[in-house]
Structure 1
């Protein structure tokens, strides 16, 4: 047989089990199915997509989870490869509307100045003084008079800002931005990862505010895209392609165990009780696999991997977050995007995405993110208190909170988890707990992990 014929035969006789039906699992299943490998995907819940979740509110489709991706990035290229139009799905990509940002204060909403991670280039701007007061502004100005200090000596963003520009700028300007955009307190942010150009600019300019001014003068906004009919379009496209390629997707089936079996693995799946309805005892089934990709979240993945891989300690505690998608009455007194002060609300961010999703006359459609699990009643009450406008309708969704690549210690922890010496042949893991949050990062990681496993299985 020719080399190609050998590869075709090898692929067709190399079964794959993917555990987890979030975007990482769907991409892993697609990457294997598209080369002819038999694929079975197990998803414990009744819904595919994980953090990609489009909801309907007031007759409008809106994204409660992941909402955008980079133009010409991993997701954009994946969408093109999937061929949405050919699948009969809406392939319209829409530029995400950029919105100004405000924060809460005793004087109402105050615009956040252009800056880097909330650090202002000019501490005497009117909006800065309104938030930090004249004392905070003058303390920030002293940054220009202090000796140069490179970020290499202090990678904690919060500590760096406090030393250079004072606690008020760190607490009242930087903290709302890092909490709203990254879900992290300033001291949890690795400045060298979150703003890698800040270090050399600080060295050149001799001050933090000067470095920010330099970067603002050279910055070019990277376009972000979303899908006109919601990000669930991506989930639907992956599901359709996997099925067309002969893959099986078993929703409501949880993986209970992975054990070695000869040169491969045996995966035990159990039908989740909720999926049984009135049928009684959940059913179990065993699946043989040459390749297993664990694409579940961390708290589900670690027990499955425990007897196969000695993984380093957990990077961060398992956490949840809540998003609230709501329709609110139009009120010109509040800004398009808000990063509230921590003292004012559990809400980390509020985005006005009316232009992206549309809404009825006289209303706006917004999405808020809160740390932890919050009831619908509490979330609605907090929104109304912060916005000063009534909420007409709201959909509350809880998600597992994935770590951010900008979090201090994440890069080192991820490298330890990725050590190839840890992983036996044919076994791999992917997901936001390994790649960091962000659709493009999750897709790229799933593609890389699958490519490594696929090569090992077909070319060894």
Structure 2
């Protein structure tokens, strides 16, 4: 019998496997169907607001033992958020004003603010400096906060493009406490939203900084697999065919792989985004994400009137569809590409159930490019991912449901970004913490 069978080679699943293996527990890891997911992570890095992902990468980069060899390919590389070009009232592209928080300018009458907003909207925004703070900490929606303090122009031209790209909704739909925790408190201290944006700007940059391994995600996966093998972790050559409870032994699972090999295990660690055995459907389907977003990436012909040193961001409306976000940037080969992100949509099931959504997203992405006047020069790469949380209430409710499931069955540990609004850093931190709790039970330290 083995101590833990890990289904999936996503980063949260492998992080959990490492926590178990490092204390001498026997672990076996199955291959993913389809191919491993680490290669699909954001090429520009993943958000890491609490630095938990960077801490894990640093852990992997360190040698094992006094005479071990380090792994520089796992060292975290941090990439600060780049200012984007936005379209102003006259349709011209202008670099967004900085410092700012979600587009909220710290100096509404600065040259860049004026170029985008125009004189009237910039003057309205500057009244924020003299408007008293009457509802301290009471404005929960970001859109309402911006409109009340700075006017509709700032919300529409500066804030909306950034919020729609990240969350797939208008600023009115997102909680200030979620997207900029502490901003309302900064407003109370500063007495104006522009002053709060200035005071909060360094924290905003830190929260928006992306982290990636120095050698890239595929190399990180190779490093992590090699580290696991050093601890004696076995890797299957074939995927899991079936999992069922052992009727002859309590708290034991029987995992069957294609090829008729079967393993008895005291615990199963599972990322259901890669594979969900029928034995766990009843327990885990209620935890499946309900809200998703499509993303498409495609090379395009060089757009006109853009500064080649900075990405450009706009919102595109297609007839009969909610707005899509369109980012234009250049890759490492100086080739222009478009990154399109769709609105949020509700659907049941897991990521592997999203085939029809991919086809529909590809069709709409083509329409978005046409409306934007762009010509594709490559095939469109389309993915569908869990949509990020837009309210603290929803985030906390889903976290509570996950904790309740884990408390009901200590032999099953579900992990993955599906339980964290698609945020990898939170998923890795949670998987490591939950695996530490599991290993305490498996080693007899805790009940």
TM over 0.5: yes
**Unaligned stretches of 5+ residues in structure 1:** 1-12, 55-62, 272-282
* 1:80-159 paired onto structure 2 within 5 Å: 80-81=61-62, 86=69, 90-91=73-74, 94-96=77-79, 98-105=81-88, 106-114=90-98, 115-150=100-135, 152-159=137-144
Q: Contact 1:258–1:266 (CA<8 Å) still a contact in 2?
A: yes
| TM-score, structure 1 normalization | 0.74
From the superposition, tell whether residues 95 and 121 of structure 1 become closer, same or farther in structure 2 (CA, over 3 Å).
Answer: closer
Partner of 1:431: 416
How far apart, in 1, do the equivalents of 2:403 and 2:435 lie?
A: 13
Question: Which deviations, in whole Å up to 9, do the C-alpha atoms of 1:338-395 show, x marking residues without a partner?
Answer: 32124389653536464xxx32xxx336562422746668647755875x77654456
More deviation, 108-117/329-338: 329-338
Q: 1:208: which partner in 2?
A: 193
Shift in Å at residue 225 of structure 1? 4.1
Gapped regions of structure 2 (runs ≥ 5) = 343-356
Q: Equivalent of 1:78, from 59, 62, 82?
A: 59
Tell me the equivalent position of 2:400. Answer: 415
Residue in 2 that maps onto 1:297: 273
Report if the CA contact (8 A) 1:96-1:225 is conserved.
Answer: yes
Tell me if structure 1 keeps the 8 A contact 2:242–2:277: no
Question: Residue 295 of structure 2 is aligned with which of 302, 305, 322?
Answer: 322
> C-alpha separation between the residues in 1 aligned to 2:82 and 2:337?
12
Query: For residues 319 and 95 of structure 1, do their structure 2 counterparts lie closer, same or farther at Cα, with a shift above 3 Å needed?
Result: closer
- Residue 23 in structure 1 maps to residue 4 in structure 2: no
Question: Aligned pair in 2 of structure 1 residues 303, 409: CA closer, same or farther (>3 Å)?
Answer: farther
Structure with the bigger percentage of strand: 1
1:317-396 paired onto structure 2 within 5 Å: 317-324=290-297, 326=299, 329=302, 333-334=306-307, 336-343=310-317, 348=325, 350=327, 352=329, 354=331, 358-359=332-333, 363-364=334-335, 366=337, 368-371=339-342, 373=358, 379=365, 382=368, 386=372, 392-393=377-378, 396=381
Displacement of 1:175 after TM fit? 1.5
Deviation at 1:162, TM superposition (A): 2.3
Greater displacement, 214-223 / 157-166: 214-223
Question: Which residue of structure 2 lines up, in the alignment, with residue 197 of structure 1?
Answer: 182
- Look up the match of 1:8: none
Q: Deviations over 1:117-171 (max 9, x none)?
A: 1112233334334434444334323333433145631222122222222233223
**How many Å separate the matches in 2 of 1:293 and 1:193?**
29
Q: Which moved more, 1:253-262 or 1:155-164?
A: 253-262
Inter-partner Cα distance in structure 2 for 1:260 and 1:144 = 68
Q: 1:425 to 1:159 in 2, by over 3 A?
A: same
Task: Check whether the contact 2:86–2:95 (CA below 8 A) recurs between aligned residues.
Answer: yes
Quick one: structure 1 residues 376 and 194, their matched pair in 2 at CA, closer, same or farther if it must change by over 3 Å? Answer: closer
> Which deviates more from structure 2 when the two are superposed, residues 25-34 or residues 136-145?
136-145
Residue in 1 that maps onto 2:212: 226
3-state SS of paired residue (1:122): coil
Aligned-pair CA distance for 1:219:
7.1
- 1:447 deviation in Å? 0.5
Match of 1:418, SS state, is helix
Contact 1:327 1:392 in 2 (8 A): yes
Structure 1 residues 353 and 412: CA distance shift in structure 2, 3 A: farther
Q: Quick one: structure 1 residues 88 and 394, their matched pair in 2 at CA, closer, same or farther if it must change by over 3 Å?
A: farther
